[in-house]
Structure 1
Amino acid sequence: MKQKLLDQLFVTKTKLFLLSFFISVAAYGQTPVSYKNGLVVSAHPLASEVGVDILKKGGNAVDAAIAVQFALAVVYPNAGNIGGGGFMVYRSSNNERAALDFRETASEKASRDMYLDASGDPIERLSLDGQLSVGTPGTVDGMVKAHERFARLPWKDLLQPAIDLARKGFPITAMQADELNRRKEIFQRFNPLGTALIKKKGHWEEGDRLVQRELARTLRLIKDRGRAGFYEGRTASLIIEEMGRGNGIITTDDLKNYQAKWREPIVSSYRNHEVISMPPSSSGGVALVSLLKAVEPYPLSRWGFQRDSTVQLMVEAERRVYADRSEHLGDADFYPVPLTGLLDSNYQQERMRDIDFSRATPSSAVKAGDPKTYESEETTHFSIVDKEGNAVAITTTLNNSYGSQVVVKGAGFLLNDEMDDFSIKPGVPNLYGLLGGAANAIEPGKRMLSAMTPTILTKNNKLFMVVGTPGGSTIITSVFQTILNVIDFGKDMQEAVSAPRFHHQWMPDEVYVEQDAIRVDVRKRLEAKHYKFTPRGSIGRVDAILVNADGSLQGGADPRGDDVALGY
């Protein structure tokens, strides 16, 4: 009886928190709120609350990040995960920098042509849906390694909030109810034995309580046994059983041998700001720095936000950088990525020399460059800064929304469909329309290329910004635009995050625009220069933190989702 009353109190408290949160957001509008002691910006209000609670208990930014990661696996199942992977960029208050690659890997049984038919053509959706689309998950090992190196609080304390949310349940948002209802049929198809994500009677509605008892048991195993609670024992056995139900190829050895990797972050500069971002197997840091280097010689602040020359310059830079991405970027453990050349200012400026502001450059005329000669849409991101000034940027994903659509029976968590991020066949686009070649071909143990771009900026050796976003191929350009919005166009953090966005990725040769992005008159003048604009829905969900001149922290939570900035 006592436990039942405690559970009811937990749910009541959660509902009251969400109600107060949405009321505050309505009043909040676009006015940024600043905090002195710490700030967490994530895709779900309950995950942000978990992170702030950890900070208040004396945890540092990494402690809070670990707790938020596991909480998102519960309250934001379409991208928050323990069955996927991601990247972490870290900077300490004394300027120690680190990058953690916990991207998924291809199974030891994977092969280059595994998604092709006898004629050598891709089999529709084989790399996207079901057990065969799954890469070996990296999230749990990544969080273990982050805890070992940088955390302050006990591991069990960081897992308990997620366990409570899974076991006792939480009220879903209107956006989540709509997503779960729209996916009911596909969940049933890939989970014939059932899953907590399927409502047994009727449709999900805002405020319904989502209880995930199987996931709670899995999280308890991870709390009690650490890495072994996921990659060995009961959880590993359930993953292997799930593979057997749908021709999946993840093996016991794949799980046991998986290792997240510490890497040297990409470090560069833009207009007297230091930029710290993620190296391969993410393309994000390289592409972001390439874009910044490409536009740096031009007077963007004088030209103005989303004016003719500004938009044209950014699109032409994106066209060239994405062409290079398709040719030169992959897992550096398997392919000699020409990092030095790609990050060289002279190389990027040489790539921009043939821009003609009187007309668009056809993408068919843009090929990948030769940097070796130079030597000088569903993911989630969260940003955290603690009172000491330590900063964490983590972008994590299952790839497609809800990943492979497969929930491990008995373990309660979704599996990724990251194998689609490999180049299945040269010249064949993936889910996000991105092309690739040999650098990103499927090989056993290899990490598939990503666009995730968790990034930290400093100015005069002091923390300046923490930024990142989900969005598949649009991640890089969304982070790029957010940085320009602050540094070049003088927007505050919330304005920079909320501002309408556009995106170009070389192929297909069109500029994707949100509804309010780029004024009609500007668009018409650029269309006369043969730019093709294609309207689409939301681009990215940027969550970012800006450090004010007085040292206080200003959050930017993307209004495109349920995202929220909470601090104290």
Structure 2
Amino acid sequence: MDSFSNSQIIRKPATRSANGGIVAAQHKRGAQAGAAILADGGDAVDAAVATSFAMGVLEPWMSGPAGGGAMMIYRADEDRAYTVYFGMRSPAGLNPADYPLSGQGRAGDLFPWSHVVEDRNQVGATAIAVPGTVAGMETAHDKFGKLAWGDLLNPAVKLADEGLHVDWYAALVIAASTRELAKNPTAAKTYLEDGQWPTIAGWTALSDKRIDMSVMAQTLRRMADKGAREFYEGDLAHEIAADVQDAGGCLSAQDLRDYRAEIQTPLAVDYRGGKVFAPAHFTAGENLAECLGMLGKQNFTGDRPGAQAYLAYVDALRKTYHRRLREMGDINDDAAPTCTTHFSVVDRHGNMVAVTQTLLSIFGSKVVLPQSGLLMNNGILWFDTEPGKPNSLAPAKRCLMNVCPALGEIGGRRFAIGASGGRKILPAILQLTSFMADFGMTLEEAIHQQRVDSSGGDTVIADQSLPDDVLAQLKQNYPTVTTRRTMFPYAFACPAGVERAGNVNYGATEIMSPWGDAVAENA
């Protein structure tokens, strides 16, 4: 039982463009930044780079230059898909002995690893991994970009100059992390009032309260002027390493200098006469492929998913997560908040990009560096704290991520989708793909369709608005609880996607995301 209305209906129509590209992102202004690049003649990859940096300013607690992730790219002229992998790595100087177990059971936050003394793998400079986002954008731009690098960062610079607008939603997100932000002097100075109270927008929708992002603006200017390698090899790299080490972390300038993103061949899965493409390594792409293989053996009927389909989704997810937890070592806790961002792009030529980028936990390590104004990741939390496991903490090791950006070509339509939401991402991408491939839904219809979540625990979480017979069948077969789609916290993942049917493009985002929107270049 809850206190929310049962008669309220929420719809978010897809954006349509017959003569231009579209960017779908978790923040409207981030999508606008990318759409403006498309209008200036930029490629889908150019728009993705601009959106990436803009989102790091608009949603700094979700992602940013000091994070990591993965990108899927479809090139219409080649009829070929690519993966750009830019996941985080543990520093080469990391010593697992510096993360002693407390003997106090399991930790909280995103992963129920054995608890580490002082949460050293979760909060503070000791939780910081080598960032990959800037290198990922650099690698994609070098291969496919058309416009100058600096021009793609300028929208983010302008947004940072304006400062972060604190509306009711931003105030709510900041308030939820106030206790941890207060532990880092620069984070407290940036996001809190008097170092201990959340920055509140006020009681009126007309409030223009803003957070000073001028230090970050200057950092973005330096990267715009000097290029991406300034982050990894220039004076900025040395400042980042020095600030992290001053705060007690082990990230070094050499770690940054050695980092490179990778262009990889994605997994290609035959499904319902079409193909689905997903990242092949250190993501949930392998699990998506495994689930689609299981669904492909089913013969769904009807124009909407019924009990048979939802039971098949849960069964596939439970099997793949059992293997993921055993062989890959990646476990999540049900209470964790969404802490990632996803955006998708399609341009007028049909090129597509799906990008999922993250700091890992919300506000990452809760550390803001004084010289650069960057909010740092807490990628070390991705590693199992107990030795001898597939994903155990070790130096110079890749982090295993939940991200799962995907591309699809089914029934004469193409789509690029992804989501934020930690371990909830895979169930969302699996179901969205099935909705479009098995039931012929448009992207808009798929985004609105009810979903279930089964991602590692015994209990299935089901949308309470599913038909009674579907809920009855789920409860008969699995421990099941029902909940509603809300905007904070999210019970399910937060997707964003684009679709191309013929020469017409569409874009849509999670209906409960108050900031999310799809913006056309000719809007």
TM range (shorter): 0.7 to 0.9
CA contact (8 A) 1:32 1:492 kept: no
Q: 1:535 to 1:97 in 2, by over 3 A?
A: same
Distance in 2 between the 1:114 and 1:553 partners? 51
Aligned equivalent of 1:395: 356
CA contact (8 A) 2:174 2:198 kept: no
Aligned equivalent of 1:54: 37
**Paired residues for 1:96-135 under 5 Å:** 96-112=80-96, 114-117=98-101, 122-123=115-116, 125-135=119-129
Aligned equivalent of 2:301: 301
* 1:210 aligned partner, one-letter code: I
Distance in 1 between the 2:47 and 2:121 partners? 34
Q: 1:221 to 1:31 in 2, by over 3 A?
A: closer
Aligned equivalent of 1:407: 368
Stretch moving more, 296-305 or 440-449: 296-305
CA contact (8 A) 2:273 2:410 kept: yes
* 1:386 aligned partner, one-letter code: D
Q: Alignment partner of 2:183: what SS? A: helix
Stretch moving more, 444-453 or 198-207: 198-207
Aligned equivalent of 1:483: 433
Is 1:443 paired with 2:394? yes
- Identity in percent: 27
Q: 1:29 to 1:312 in 2, by over 3 A?
A: closer
Note the C-alpha offset of 1:525: 4.1
Structure having the higher strand fraction is 2
Superposed CA RMSD in Å reads: 2.5
Distance in 1 between the 2:505 and 2:350 partners? 10
Distance in 1 between the 2:512 and 2:9 partners? 17
Is 1:79 paired with 2:31? no
Note the C-alpha offset of 1:178: 1.3
**Paired residues for 1:14-53 under 5 Å:** 29-36=11-18, 37-53=20-36
CA contact (8 A) 1:280 1:329 kept: no
**Paired residues for 1:103-182 under 5 Å:** 103-112=87-96, 114-117=98-101, 122-123=115-116, 125-182=119-176
Aligned equivalent of 1:324: 323
Aligned equivalent of 1:67: 50
* 2:357 aligned partner, one-letter code: T
CA contact (8 A) 2:17 2:504 kept: yes
Note the C-alpha offset of 1:379: 0.8
Is 1:190 paired with 2:184? yes
Note the C-alpha offset of 1:97: 2.1
CA contact (8 A) 1:378 1:400 kept: yes
Q: 1:195 to 1:520 in 2, by over 3 A?
A: farther
Q: TM-score, normalised by structure 2?
A: 0.86
**Paired residues for 1:341-356 under 5 Å:** none
Q: TM-score, normalised by structure 1?
A: 0.80
Q: Residue 542 of structure 1 is aligned with which of 480, 495, 504? A: 495
Q: 1:530 to 1:204 in 2, by over 3 A?
A: closer
Note the C-alpha offset of 1:515: 4.4
Q: Residue 523 of structure 1 is aligned with which of 471, 489, 502? A: 471
Q: 1:193 to 1:83 in 2, by over 3 A?
A: closer
Aligned equivalent of 1:363: none
Aligned equivalent of 1:223: 224
Distance in 2 between the 1:525 and 1:119 partners? 41
Q: Deviations over 1:130-157 (max 9, x none)?
A: 1111110011111111111110001110
Aligned equivalent of 1:240: 241
Distance in 1 between the 2:296 and 2:73 partners? 25
Note the C-alpha offset of 1:478: 0.5
Q: 1:144 to 1:463 in 2, by over 3 A?
A: farther
CA contact (8 A) 1:195 1:409 kept: no
Q: Deviations over 1:48-101 (max 9, x none)?
A: 000010000000000000000000110111113001011011111121321111
CA contact (8 A) 1:195 1:412 kept: no
Q: 1:390 to 1:529 in 2, by over 3 A?
A: closer
Structure ID, larger Rg: 1
Note the C-alpha offset of 1:459: 3.6
Gaps (5+ residues) in structure 1? 1-25, 332-376, 427-436
CA contact (8 A) 2:483 2:491 kept: no
Distance in 2 between the 1:394 and 1:41 partners? 11
Note the C-alpha offset of 1:497: 1.4
CA contact (8 A) 1:70 1:80 kept: no
Is 1:510 paired with 2:459? yes
CA contact (8 A) 1:223 1:229 kept: no
CA contact (8 A) 1:105 1:137 kept: yes
Is 1:471 paired with 2:454? no
Note the C-alpha offset of 1:102: 0.6
Gaps (5+ residues) in structure 2? 1-7, 105-113, 202-206, 331-337, 485-489
* 2:289 aligned partner, one-letter code: V
Note the C-alpha offset of 1:414: 0.9
Note the C-alpha offset of 1:112: 4.5
